[in-house]
Amino acid sequence: MKTMATFKGGIHPPGKKDLTVSGSIETAALPNKAIIPLVQHIGAPAECLVKPGDIIEEEQLIGQAQGFISANIHSPIPGKVIEITQVYLGHGPLADAVVIELEGSFKRLGNASEPKNWKEIPNDEILNKIKSSGIVGLGGATFPSHVKFSLPPGKVCENFIINAVECESYLNSDNFMMLEHPDEILQGIEIISTLIKPKKVIIGIEANKLKAAKLLKKRIAELNLDIQIALLKVKYPQGAEKNLIKAIIGKEVPSGKLPLEIGVINTNVSTCFAVYEAVALDKPLVERIVTMSGEALRNPKVLKVRIGTPISELIEECGGFKEKPFKVVSGGPMMGTSFFDLNTPVIKSTSGILFLTEKEINQDKMDSCVSCGKCITACPMGLNPTTIYKALDFELLPEALNTGLMDCVECGSCSYVCPSNIPLVSLFKVGRNEARKK
Ligand code: SF4
Ligand code: SF4
């Protein structure tokens, strides 16, 4: 398989995927107490449908989506609601959460269900199943899938791009899903295609996942599906949707617009699996694959985890720590967020948890800008990070906006290459938040 050209800019941080690459997905133990936040998606929090003392079934709806952009929340375990509380999520915000103590019997666990022939299900029912199952983008964006797959009138999907890039170092969740569930993923792609009717379907995958790419290609041929594989050069941040689109079809999404503006819908490969389960098995989103990695962890693993499981229980699954982590990160090392409360629960967006040692983190002191231009070369969005940085440093937000602050995808490539260790992306995140508030 030949690799394709790629987007401009980007960087090549060490992959670190070898920490987990030799294993297979292991199922984590069920949590004795699941902490289930009512907002695990972009949009309005779900409305809580339960109260302390209620007895809950596995997969019962406990949070009802509110408004157009929102998603349902289901219980990952059967049990008793012991508390409605507030928890900090791995990516920072405080959220209302339902705490369920495990008790009673399971509806699905241990009972294999026969997949339905989804081809006999009408499109409106398929969309409704995706919506009622609380499916959101599992690549990190957590945008409610039923909204993404409802084409507005007059819009046509020319290219349906499936994001199987997983370009962040350490993360292996999507890779393992493709190796272990290729047929379910391909069926998920077919299900979504019946809704959005794309002219072309392309799976974008980086060349460091050649085994997964070959397996998908083989199954596509055997199943006689009209799906292409685009094998891409390894480069960060290829998983950012605008970069992926540029790499695959050579078109740019205009500033401030969505991919559909140029006829593209893209979704993460694990989301396709979740869509398959929702439609063919009537299974809501109550579990996900999480990469547990980093040099501080004794046995890094890729785990299938029930939503709501506290991270502390997953650390035990991985044999505890070899050494005390210097930093714990939810997500990848470049775009993830650090947090310290190990009782933080896994939510729909938790693609990985990294336990990094002091050695794995750059702690060199910040210096003055030497005008080397390395940040400009690295920026995949064609921005001049040093100009934006100077504007924000002087608290000139309008200047920063004029120089493209809102086009920044917060990938951190500029900070990574900066020889003066200027925390460019940290300042951009603060500036973008401030601009959104205003
Ligand atoms: S300016 Fe934004 S998009 Fe450009 S490299 Fe820096 S973080 Fe990435
Ligand atoms: S990489 Fe750092 S030192 Fe070089 S121009 Fe950019 S901000 Fe300045």
User: What number does the ligand 2 atom closest to the CA of 389 have?
Assistant: 7
Residues 255 and 391 in one domain: no
Smallest Cα–Cα separation from 160: which of 215, 222, 225? Answer: 225
The answer, yes or no, to whether any atom of ligand 1 lies below 6 A from the CB of 315, is: no
Residue of 411, 416, 418, 427 with the most ligand 1 atoms within 8 Å of its CB, for mutation: 411
201 occurs within a structural domain: yes
Residues 378 and 276 in one domain: no
Looking at 246, 266, 281, which one is the last position of a domain? 281
Q: How far apart are CA 352 and CA 289, in angstroms?
A: 8
Q: How far apart are CA 208 and CA 238, in angstroms?
A: 13
Residues 263 and 392 in one domain: no
416 occurs within a structural domain: yes
Per-block average pLDDT, block size 10, for the chain (438 residues)?
A: 73 92 89 95 92 96 94 97 91 88 85 87 97 94 93 94 97 97 98 97 96 98 97 94 94 90 96 97 96 97 97 96 95 91 93 95 86 95 94 93 94 95 92 87
Which token pair is 20? 């987990």
The three state secondary structure string of 180-199 is: HCHHHHHHHHHHHHHHHCCC
Going from the Cα of 434 to the center of ligand 2, the distance in angstroms, rounded, reads 23
User: What number does the ligand 2 atom closest to the CA of 372 have?
Assistant: 4
Angle 210-222/173-180 helices, nearest 10 degrees? Answer: 30
| Euclidean distance between the first and the last CA atom of the chain, given in angstroms as a whole number | 48
pLDDT at residue 244 in the model = 95
- Residue 37 is given by DSSP the state E
Q: For 260-355, where are the alpha helices, taking DSSP H only?
A: 269-281, 311-317
Looking at 260, 281, 302, which one is the last position of a domain? 281
pLDDT at residue 4 in the model = 63
DSSP letters for 273-291: HHHHHHHHH---S-EEEEE
Q: Nearest 5 degrees, angle CA 397-CA 400-CA 402? A: 110
Nearest CA, atom 6, ligand 2: 375
Smallest Cα–Cα separation from 236: which of 425, 437, 90? Answer: 425
Nearest CA, atom 3, ligand 2: 369
pLDDT at residue 53 in the model = 97
Strands, E assignment, 41-143: 47-48, 55-56, 61-64, 73-74, 79-88, 94-102
Which token pair is 363? 């702690």
Range of the domain at 272: 115-281
84 occurs within a structural domain: no
The answer, yes or no, to whether any atom of ligand 1 lies below 6 A from the CB of 118, is: no
192-220 residue pLDDT tens: 999 999 999 999 999 999 999 999 999 99
- The CATH number of residue 232's host domain is 3.40.50.11540
40 occurs within a structural domain: no
Going from the Cα of 406 to the center of ligand 2, the distance in angstroms, rounded, reads 20
How many structural domains does the chain have?
A: 2
